[in-house]
Structure 1
Amino acid sequence: MSNERLRASMAAGGWTCAALGKRAGVDPKSVERWLNLGRTPRRATATLAAEALGEDMFTLWPALRPERTARVVSPELVAFYDQRADVPVSTFTDLFAQAGKQIDILVYAAVFLHEAYPRLNELLRERAADGCTVRIAIGDPESENVQQRGREEQFGHGIETRCSLALMHYRPLRQVPGIEIRTHGTTLYNSLYRADDQLLVNAHVWGVNAYAAPIWHLRRSGAGGTFHTYAQSFDAVWSTATPVPEE
């Protein structure tokens, strides 16, 4: 198989086989084999020839491109979604329904859960009644960080309104044993939805609404790891959050 890219490059620069061979330190017959038989020169020779032609060596001889080492995918990664909108709400609710020990929710608002699944409070009550600890941290509408997020996403005061709406949705749970609701004013880098040893992480991207940002589904795999990092992040925010007062 001939190397037409090499032939075109040589023709464009007026290079003969003899001239290119001399520049690369090989005889003209070798250059002819590169052209007509598709042979690949040694890397050092190819480097000299490509420099003379003003071309990228790997473009002329793709076989010289080093093989990419396969990326090791974390055993904790269950699934990756391009955006939250691609994830069925049942993925969230099924996760919560399977929880036996712990449910953690860290968001600014995430009212999509109640809007798409009106039984959410009932589900959380059921899990708490079965001994599951439920912790819900919602964005404080008065927080500067919440308001800044609204400006960044060109959402205006909408995000503050949605935080208040989320709080309204969850308020009926505040007296349920095993369920605690707090508000926080932290910079939210990720929304977290944890159920025991599984976790949905909704990344936040500057200027992009959460529904259009990616989600990764993690499952704890031994001590430490990515799951542990996010779990610690939740605990750190929770420790600074303010319990929702009784009315």
Structure 2
Amino acid sequence: MNERLHSVLAQRGVSPESLAEACEVDPKTVTRWLGGRLPHPRHRFRVAHHLRVEELFLWPAPVLSAGRPSAGSGVELVGTYQNRASVPREMWLSLLQGAREQISVLVFSGTFFAQSNPHVAKMLAERAAAGVRVRLCFGDPNGHAAAIRGREEGIGDTLAAKIRASLTYYRPLVTEAGCEVRLHDTTLYTSLFRYDDDLLINPHVWGQPASANPLLHLKRVDSAGWFDNYAQSFEAVWAGARPWTPDQEVSSSHGQD
């Protein structure tokens, strides 16, 4: 079953019959797509265009078996987006809800992560209760890295305020088993959002907010690829970050994810 196609149809309020009409195919054909059959390339394009979603989200590139080209050749790259806002909300939700082992997030403030989904803390707690390891790493609002980033973006102390505001959404997670929230004070070149073997990478361009920069979707193939390089950078930052203790935090005059 193509759960992603089912989900997007429900989110968009589009019936299988109307999708069939838009794609000029028999409704039974759409039923087969929903059941897991891979459409012809021209139909995949029309479905994605009609539903306003990336084709690779609905039909991810298959993971190749022995004899595949090396991961460094780009096999792991399954999707690109002009900016973070171009990523369908349904994709964020689907990846979060589909995680079975880990959810790892590395940002400065990550305000969009909660504002685009007011129930994100509850959903993360539910995944943790199901055995998923949840790790959220935000910029330290009192740190030098956030202050420097704020100056580079021309927003001054606003970044530190955004971090504090964003953290309020995740306060309930501090006491949840399986959930950890930490603060880092590192130069952040890329925001990372990992859901098991899916990794969304949001590179940072100097002087621009992360929301205005491209986003890449990687799917892990093997340990020699891009995926693991970025995953290891998360682990390095996480190891040096300090636990967030809301009741002990103090405001600072220092310092967008």
The alignment's TM-score, normalised by the length of structure 2, stands at 0.66
Q: For residues 93 and 174 of structure 1, what CA distance do their matches in structure 2 show?
A: 22
Is the 8 Å Cα contact of residues 89 and 113 (structure 1) preserved in structure 2? no
Q: For residues 190 and 225 of structure 2, what CA distance do their matches in structure 1 show?
A: 17
Q: For residues 206 and 219 of structure 1, what CA distance do their matches in structure 2 show?
A: 26
Residue 113 of structure 1 deviates from its aligned partner by 1.6
* 1:108 alignment partner in structure 2: 108
Q: Which amino acid aligns with 2:222?
A: G
SS in 2 for 1:142: coil
SS in 1 for 2:78: strand
Compare CA radii of gyration and give the structure with the larger one. 1
SS in 2 for 1:174: helix
Work out the percentage of aligned pairs sharing the same amino acid: 43
* 2:220 alignment partner in structure 1: 220
Superposition CA RMSD, Å: 1.2
Q: For residues 93 and 149 of structure 1, what CA distance do their matches in structure 2 show?
A: 28
Unaligned runs of 5+ in 2: 1-71, 248-257
1:158-215 CA-partner distances (Å, limit 9, x unpaired): 1111111121111110110000000001000000000000000000000111110010
* 2:46 alignment partner in structure 1: none
* 2:38 alignment partner in structure 1: none
The alignment's TM-score, normalised by the length of structure 1, stands at 0.69
* 1:64 alignment partner in structure 2: none
Is 1:144–2:149 an aligned residue pair? Answer: no
Residue 156 of structure 1 deviates from its aligned partner by 1.7
4+ runs deviating over 6 angstroms: none
* 2:77 alignment partner in structure 1: 77
* 1:161 alignment partner in structure 2: 161
Q: Which amino acid aligns with 1:215?
A: L
Residue 73 of structure 1 deviates from its aligned partner by 5.1
Is 1:119–2:119 an aligned residue pair? Answer: yes
Is the 8 Å Cα contact of residues 191 and 204 (structure 2) preserved in structure 1? yes
Unaligned runs of 5+ in 1: 1-71
Q: For residues 186 and 93 of structure 1, what CA distance do their matches in structure 2 show?
A: 28
Where do residues 94-105 of structure 1 align in structure 2 (5 Å cutoff)?
94-105=94-105
Where do residues 171-182 of structure 1 align in structure 2 (5 Å cutoff)?
171-182=171-182
Is the 8 Å Cα contact of residues 100 and 132 (structure 1) preserved in structure 2? yes
Is the 8 Å Cα contact of residues 171 and 246 (structure 2) preserved in structure 1? no
Is the 8 Å Cα contact of residues 200 and 218 (structure 2) preserved in structure 1? yes
Q: Which has the higher relative contact order, 1 or 2, with Cα contacts under 8 A spaced 6 or more apart?
A: 2
Q: For residues 206 and 88 of structure 2, what CA distance do their matches in structure 1 show?
A: 24
Where do residues 190-201 of structure 1 align in structure 2 (5 Å cutoff)?
190-201=190-201
Is 1:131–2:127 an aligned residue pair? Answer: no
Residue 88 of structure 1 deviates from its aligned partner by 2.2
